[in-house]
Amino acid sequence: MNRDPVASSNVISIGFDEPSQTLEIEFANGSVYQYFNVGQVTYDELMRAPSKGQYMHTYIRNAFPFSRVA
């Protein structure tokens, strides 16, 4: 999945595959996680959030099933 770099101290890049509703986040520590069943609205809000890490922690981390991929 292609990811776009973001300005964040904790998040390096974010990718989203709309057909499969999969959100992929690369963190500053090198880990990459995929979150499943994420809608376009959530992705759009994440990308507009002034703090990507805070938005991810508050609205995504415990709300969607996930898998560590790297």
* Parts of the chain with a pLDDT under 50: none
pLDDT of residue 6: 97
- Tens digit of each residue's pLDDT (9 = 90 or more) over 44-63: 999 999 999 999 999 999 99
What is the distance, to the nearest Å, from the Cα of residue 36 to the centroid of all Cα atoms in its chain?
10
pTM of the model: 0.95
pLDDT of residue 10: 93
Q: How far apart are CA 58 and CA 69, in angstroms?
A: 21
Nearest to 17 by CA among 48, 43, 52, 46: 43
Task: Give me the residue spans of the domains in the chain.
Answer: 4-68
